[in-house]
Amino acid sequence: MKIYNEHIVYDIAPYQSRILISTSSLVAIPIYFAYQRGLYFYMITTFGTGFCSILYWFHPIHGWRRNLDLFYAKYSFLVYLASGLFLLPGGLISLVFYVGAISLIRCYFLSLSYPEKWLYYHILFHLISIATKTHVILSI
């Protein structure tokens, strides 16, 4: 099956889809911590991100599920970016956040620049995203 990412065509093997579903499901980690801290807005936002991602990677073709995933991922990025910029106390905590945010952006553009390695960059994108979300939630 083929997907199109910013004018680049990828052949998606079923195992690749399963890997991305697995990494997307790791959003359970920041969801758990958000729930434990009573940060329900972050819990719902993160759940939506994971749900849309899993929904898309379950059958990755162009259409409304891909558009929803891209929209919700950008929305979630903006929510966590604003939270990191305005709610974190500063110092090392903020530095870790900035490194995570910059790494996310870098992985996104690397996946577009090197289509033969897009899967690795997208897995890394998922993992950094989850780590950064968890960091923000635990630091607020």
Q: What angle do CA 37, 100, 92 make, to 5 degrees?
A: 70
Torsion of CA 20, 26, 28, 32, to 10 degrees: -160
Model pLDDT for residues 77-105, shown as the tens digit of each residue: 999 999 999 999 989 999 999 999 999 99
Torsion of CA 45, 49, 52, 56, to 10 degrees: 170
pLDDT at 1: 47
Kindly state the average pLDDT of the residues 114-137. 95
- The radius of gyration of the chain's CA atoms, rounded to the nearest angstrom, is 15
b or e along 53-85 (b: 16 or more beta carbons within 10 Å of the residue's beta carbon)? bbbbbeebeeeebbebbeebbeebbebbbebbe
Q: Which residue has the tokens 């697995």?
A: 22
Give the list of residues 6+ apart from residue 118 with CB closer than 8 angstroms, or none. 5, 8, 10, 111, 112
Model pLDDT for residues 41-78, shown as the tens digit of each residue: 999 999 999 999 999 999 898 889 999 999 999 999 99
Orientation angle between helical segments 40-58 and 28-36, nearest 10 degrees = 160
pLDDT at 61: 86
pLDDT at 112: 87
Average pLDDT of the chain is 92
The reported pTM is 0.88
